[in-house]
């Protein structure tokens, strides 16, 4: 157990103050690494060119003219690369290399120090569980309207198989495509101006004809749209719309809103486009939910591991019951006696909770960082807590991606064996 303790609030303050001095530190460090990588790559190229130059010197014994020419070309390339390196090393960013690395190391030391406290790590993951669960819930809710919309469109298409009139109504997609075609042609024709009055008059007459065709399609779309809305209202049972549910085509939270938008001549949306957009959105959301659930599983596993580590830490400090068989049997015996006493005292549930381990004490800890008053319950609200959570999130995403790639490789391997 560390002799010198520092309160979490104090360390959190130091971290925020240090970070405030370098608001763009993460970006600067990233750019610095890119600069160093370029310098390294240029240095490797110079080494390769120096090797080529050495070969050229040997070849000069056979053909001095060609060899000297090649040597000059190589020297020019080396000079350009060295000039590039000089520019990079002379940049303001590279000149601040030591300063930036010192600041980065200082922040990393705070993160490393606070992460030595198991209660801190556990508290952040418990906060992360709430965030994951909330995200899953919001994502599942976001799919409700798209799924209902797709279900209604699917039922409309099935009903249309035995209803010629509905088939004509659902041809609204084709009408909108034709309308879009006429609008594009009209816009194109209007952009052309002829110097010849006769030619321009013919073009204007053609545009008027196209405008009439366009107006007919707009009228047809409006008519079919009205009939579609009426059909939905009259066939709510067949479409799976509850009888008590109010039909409001102007309610943006309703699945009918997106179907009604198809009926607007000014809207480019079609039934087929709606199906495609919502299907893609649902697939993306379901993948996102699955990834989040995997992250949640990882987090809960880490919480359990941290809890066990904390129990072991407290056992070593002689502050918590041990896990060996004798201590377990002793706890069971003590719990049984307590349960019997509860029974004689008329307790309705005499054995409820009697075998549970006592709650873990908040302190002490081997860590040099402690939170005497809150035991890190509000750590996730602090800047250092948020930065550690971000690190945890990135680690979880990496694990999920590795699991996905591993599963993909196994499937490919099995497919190969099958073949």
Whether 312 is in a domain gets the answer no
Structurally, the chain folds into a number of domains equal to: 2
What is the domain extent for residue 68?
6-114
Write out pLDDT tens, residues 146-188: 999 999 999 999 999 999 999 999 999 999 999 999 999 999 9
pLDDT in the model for residue 231: 93
> Span 282-291, mean pLDDT?
96
350 vs 339: CA distance, rounded Å: 5
Listing DSSP states for 188-201 in one string gives HHHT---SSHHHHH
369 SS3 class: strand
Is pLDDT above 60 for 64? no
Q: Are residues 271 and 158 in the same domain?
A: yes
- What letter would DSSP give residue 350? T
Write out pLDDT tens, residues 173-229: 999 999 999 999 999 988 888 888 888 888 889 999 999 999 999 999 999 999 999
pLDDT in the model for residue 362: 54
Is pLDDT above 90 for 344? no
Q: Are residues 104 and 177 in the same domain?
A: no
Is pLDDT above 90 for 141? yes
Is pLDDT above 80 for 336? no
Among candidate residues 343, 380, 318, the one with its CA nearest the CA of residue 121: 380
Q: Are residues 177 and 267 in the same domain?
A: yes
Half-sphere CA count of 303, side-chain side, radius 13 A: 14
Q: Are residues 60 and 164 in the same domain?
A: no
SS3 of the chain: helix, strand, coil, percent, to 5: 75, 0, 25
More confident residue, 309 or 2: 309
Q: Are residues 158 and 72 in the same domain?
A: no
Whether 133 is in a domain gets the answer no
Distances (CA, A) of 84 to 37, 38, 109, 291: 13, 9, 34, 44
Write out pLDDT tens, residues 86-119: 999 999 999 999 999 999 999 999 999 999 999 9
pLDDT in the model for residue 249: 87
């Amino acid at each position: 157990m560390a002799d010198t303790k520092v309160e979490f609030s104090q360390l959190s303050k130091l971290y925020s103050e240090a970070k405030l001095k370098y608001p763009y530190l993460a970006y600067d460090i990233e750019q610095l690494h890119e600069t160093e990588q370029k310098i390294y790559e240029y240095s490797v190229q110079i080494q390769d060119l120096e090797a080529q130059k050495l070969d050229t010197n040997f070849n000069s014994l056979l053909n001095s003219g060609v060899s000297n020419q090649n040597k000059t070309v190589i020297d020019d390339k080396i000079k350009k690369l060295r000039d590039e390196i000089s520019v990079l090393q002379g940049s303001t960013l590279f000149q601040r290399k030591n300063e930036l690395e010192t600041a980065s190391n200082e922040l990393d030391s705070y993160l490393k120090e606070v992460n030595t406290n198991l209660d801190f790590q556990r508290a952040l993951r418990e906060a992360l569980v709430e965030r994951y669960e909330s995200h899953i819930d919001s994502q599942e809710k976001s799919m409700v309207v798209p799924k209902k919309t797709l279900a209604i469109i699917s039922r409309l298409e099935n009903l249309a198989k035995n209803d010629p009139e509905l088939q004509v109504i659902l041809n609204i997609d084709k009408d909108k495509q034709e309308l879009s075609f006429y609008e594009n042609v009209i816009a194109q024709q209007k952009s052309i101006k002829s110097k010849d009055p006769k030619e321009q008059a013919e073009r204007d007459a053609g545009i008027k004809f196209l405008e009439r065709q366009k107006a007919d399609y707009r009228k047809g779309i409006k008519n079919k749209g009205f009939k579609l809305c009426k059909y939905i209202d009259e066939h709510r049972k067949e479409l799976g719309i509850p009888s008590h549910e109010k039909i409001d085509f102007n309610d943006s939270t309703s699945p009918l809103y997106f179907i009604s938008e198809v009926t607007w001549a000014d809207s480019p949306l079609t039934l087929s486009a709606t199906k495609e957009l919502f299907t893609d959105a649902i697939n993306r959301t379901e993948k996102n939910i699955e990834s989040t659930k995997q992250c949640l599983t990882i987090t809960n596993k880490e919480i359990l591991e941290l809890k066990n580590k904390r129990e072991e830490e407290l056992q070593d400090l002689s502050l918590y019951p041990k896990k060996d068989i004798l201590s377990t049997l002793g706890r069971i015996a003590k719990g049984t006696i307590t349960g019997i006493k509860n029974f004689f005292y008329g307790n309705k549930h005499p054995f409820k909770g009697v075998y549970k381990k006592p709650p873990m004490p908040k302190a002490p800890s081997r860590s040099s960082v402690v939170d005497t008053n809150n035991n890190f319950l509000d750590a996730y609200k602090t800047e250092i807590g948020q930065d550690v959570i971000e690190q945890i999130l990135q680690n979880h995403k990496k694990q999920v991606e590795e699991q996905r790639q591993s599963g993909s490789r196994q499937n490919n391997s099995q497919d190969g064996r099958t073949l």
